[in-house]
């Protein structure tokens, strides 16, 4: 078997995906069947410098070179071959942010990551102008904020891109971006699969008084969709990725995509009426729409799949952090009582016990806001548990309320799509830490959105695997093969997964909890004012 894989590697019948996450860069090499055969990773942390969350260019290149080297070493140790060529390569990264360059290719200001919320004033003005929700993390919001601030560098901008777009450009020489990530740089026209022409004109009129020496469309990257070739590895790019000189140039690249798009691919959620929920430190839901929403909502970002179909995205800052804090506290108590309980056993015990609680948590209410939550308009983190003297305050209801709260803000946003807009959802895939305890988080998500939820083993492979799949799709797809059919037939056919339909009693209980949750939000907002 290993000899067969070694031969495939030498023949270039592979695809490599590399994703820049917030704390880790990961590389996954897959075979023709999209099975991971080697991997490597590099841990990194963003820096907070001069009021900006950033990574330096040195951080980026040292990280990706180390990550690639570890993956290549994994290949050598497992299969006894040196990695000289690869069938196709793809890059992915955390969403959007701000990277701008002058004509000579020099970075004009430090990379501003998605974590920076300093572009909020610009985002509000653009949302009003476009009548289309522009989040503060989007690239156009960062650009307009820099213009409003009168920042000196703006007049020298020749090219604006995102992190994966930058790496792709340096390795291939091509200024391109996948349509999913492009939709977080500037709004996309779903019909043309291009930047929205009407909004581009509106932006030009808006900034005309500033006398900028460029048009926005001219500094943005070229948009490509999944399946298109996005350039090839240059000789300079090969040395940049692999300074040992072993990797040869000429390898084709797929369009670089954002982590939201690769998450959709890794969970087989790219066709209309499907979606995925990623639930860890933060939580977000991506639902592929049959048509665009009737109007703009502050709670919903409108982005696209890697082929350009419209997606409604609900992104919440808080999910499991407060839950983890409670579990840690119960762990402290167990230790005081002389009990030796592992962290995983603690989670399983407490999560599973929550299923014995009342369907509506017995009147116990929880808010998991360790940080601000824009979906519910809470400006600072104030986690709390609230109850009346009549509430049924048991451990089961306490844990159930905190688990429901982890999905509370998400439900507020999803209900706009599912109830107010009538968006139809046949199935959704859950992945992330909330779903590690079998059945519990999965059944609560099914209750929150009133739709079947599937958890697959491969969802844990993550975005690096997702972009590797997109690279393989570009390399091997048939003439008329769609990404949907490729994923169904060649990636996920026969994959192990567990699907849970929503329990009607759980749905009714979550609805009752959610009504109480929304009515109680003024309590949290008052806590922000009162507890400084």
Asked if residues 100 and 159 have their Cβ atoms less than 8 Å apart, the reply is yes
Are residues 521 and 389 part of one domain? yes
Domain count, the chain: 2
Q: Which of 327, 399, 402, 406 is nearest to 357 (CA)?
A: 399
What does the angle CA 362 – CA 283 – CA 372 come to, to the nearest 5 degrees?
Answer: 80
Domain for residue 325, yes or no?
A: yes
Q: Looking at the structure, do residues 394 and 511 belong to the same domain, yes or no?
A: yes
Last residue of a domain, one of 219, 239, 261: 219
pLDDT of res. 262: 92
pLDDT score for 460: 52
The reported pLDDT for the residue numbered 94 is 87
| Domain co-membership, 378 together with 509 | yes
* 391 DSSP assignment: S
Q: Which domain holds residue 341?
A: 321-406+505-530
> How many CB atoms are closer than 10 A to CB 523?
13
* Domain shared by 209 and 347, yes or no: no
Joined tokens for residue 23 = 């704390």
Cα separation values, 277 from 22, 272, 414, 428, Å: 18, 15, 11, 7
Pair 212, 205: CB distance under 8 Å: no
Tens-level pLDDT at each residue, the chain (532 residues):
566 999 999 999 999 999 998 889 999 999 999 999 999 999 998 888 988 889 999 999 999 999 999 999 999 999 999 999 999 999 999 878 899 999 999 999 999 998 787 899 999 999 999 999 999 989 999 999 999 999 999 999 999 999 999 999 999 999 999 999 999 999 999 899 999 999 999 999 999 999 999 999 999 999 999 999 999 999 999 999 999 999 999 999 999 999 889 989 998 999 999 999 988 888 989 999 998 899 889 999 999 999 999 999 999 989 999 999 999 999 999 999 999 999 999 999 999 999 999 999 999 999 999 988 989 999 889 999 999 999 999 999 999 999 999 999 999 999 999 999 999 998 899 888 898 898 999 999 999 999 999 988 755 567 899 999 999 999 998 788 999 999 999 998 877 788 999 999 999 999 999 999 999 999 999 999 999 8
509 located within any domain: yes
**What pLDDT, on the 0 to 100 scale, is given for residue 89?**
98
518 and 402 fall within a common domain: yes
Whole-number pLDDT of residue 463? 85
The residue out of 219, 240, 262 marking a domain boundary is 219
Examine the domain organization and report whether 392 and 522 are in the same domain: yes
pLDDT of residue 478: 79
Residues across the chain = 532
> Does residue 470 lie in a domain region?
no
pTM of this prediction exceeds 0.75 = yes
Run of H or E including 315: strand 310-316
- Other beta carbons less than 10 A from residue 341's beta carbon: 15
Residue 390, in any domain of the structure: yes
Domain shared by 378 and 524, yes or no: yes
Q: Give domain status of residue 520, yes or no.
A: yes
Look at residue 292 and tell me if it is in a domain. Answer: no
Biggest CA–CA distance in the chain, Å, is 71
Same domain, 215 and 351: no
pLDDT for the residue 3: 65
Q: What is the DSSP letter of 442?
A: H
First to last CA, the chain: 62
Read off φ and ψ for residue 329, nearest 5 degrees: -65, -40
pLDDT on residue 495 = 77
Containing H/E element for 385? strand 384-386
Residue 524 domain-assigned (yes or no): yes
With beta carbons less than 8 A apart as the criterion, state whether 163 and 99 touch. yes
CA distance 248 to 83: 9
Q: Are residues 523 and 375 in the same domain?
A: yes
Q: For position 278, what pLDDT does the model report?
A: 87
In contact, 255 and 451? CB cutoff 8 Å: no
Give, in order, the Cα–Cα distances in Å from 385 to each of 179, 361, 382, 400: 42, 12, 10, 12
Query: Domain ends where: 219, 238, 260?
Result: 219
């Amino acid at each position: 078997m290993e000899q067969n894989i070694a031969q495939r590697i030498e023949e270039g019948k592979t695809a490599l995906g590399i994703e820049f996450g917030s704390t880790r860069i990961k590389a996954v090499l897959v075979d023709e069947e999209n099975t991971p055969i080697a991997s490597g990773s590099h841990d990194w942390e963003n820096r907070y410098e001069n009021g900006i969350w950033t990574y330096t260019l040195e951080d980026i290149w040292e990280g990706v070179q180390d990550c690639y080297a570890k993956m290549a070493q994994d290949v050598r140790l497992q299969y006894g071959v040196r990695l000289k060529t690869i069938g196709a390569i793809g890059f992915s990264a955390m969403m959007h942010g701000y990277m701008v360059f002058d004509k000579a290719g020099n970075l004009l200001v430090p990379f501003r990551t998605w974590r920076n919320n300093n572009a909020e004033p610009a985002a509000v003005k653009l949302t009003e102008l476009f009548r289309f929700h522009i989040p503060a993390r989007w690239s156009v919001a960062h650009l307009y904020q820099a213009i409003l601030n009168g920042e000196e560098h703006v007049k020298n901008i020749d090219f604006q891109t995102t992190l994966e777009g930058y790496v792709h450009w340096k390795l291939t020489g091509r200024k391109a971006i996948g349509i999913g990530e492009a939709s977080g740089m500037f709004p996309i026209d779903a019909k043309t699969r291009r930047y929205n022409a009407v909004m581009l004109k509106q932006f030009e009129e808006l900034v005309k008084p500033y006398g900028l020496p460029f048009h926005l469309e001219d500094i943005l990257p070229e948009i490509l969709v999944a399946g298109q070739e996005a350039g090839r590895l240059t000789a300079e790019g090969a040395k940049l990725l692999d300074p040992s000189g072993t990797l040869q140039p000429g390898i084709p690249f797929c369009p670089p995509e954002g982590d939201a798009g690769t998450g959709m691919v890794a969970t087989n959620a790219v066709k209309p009426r499907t979606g995925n929920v990623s639930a860890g430190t933060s939580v977000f839901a991506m639902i592929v729409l049959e048509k665009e929403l009737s109007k703009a909502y502050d709670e919903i970002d409108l982005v696209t799949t890697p082929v350009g179909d419209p997606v409604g995205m609900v992104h919440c800052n808080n999910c499991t952090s407060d839950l983890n804090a409670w579990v840690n506290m119960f762990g402290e108590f167990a230790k005081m009582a002389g009990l030796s309980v592992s962290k995983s056993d603690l989670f399983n015990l407490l999560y599973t016990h929550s299923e014995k609680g009342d369907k509506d948590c017995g009147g116990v209410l929880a808010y998991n806001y360790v940080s601000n939550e824009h979906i519910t308009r809470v400006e600072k983190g104030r986690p709390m548990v609230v109850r009346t003297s009549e509430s049924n305050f048991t451990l089961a209801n306490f844990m159930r309320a905190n688990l429901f709260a982890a999905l509370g803000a998400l439900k507020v946003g999803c209900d706009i799509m599912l109830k107010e807009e009538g968006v139809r959802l046949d199935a959704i895939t859950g992945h992330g830490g909330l779903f590690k305890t079998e059945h519990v988080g999965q059944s609560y998500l099914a209750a929150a959105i009133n739709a079947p939820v599937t958890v697959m083993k491969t969802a844990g492979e993550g975005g690096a695997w997702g972009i590797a799949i997109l690279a393989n799709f570009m390399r091997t797809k048939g003439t008329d093969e769609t990404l949907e059919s490729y994923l169904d037939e060649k990636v996920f056919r026969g994959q192990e997964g567990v699907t849970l339909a929503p329990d009607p009693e759980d749905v009714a209980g979550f609805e009752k909890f959610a009504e109480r949750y929304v009515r109680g939000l003024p309590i949290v907002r008052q806590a922000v004012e009162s507890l400084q």
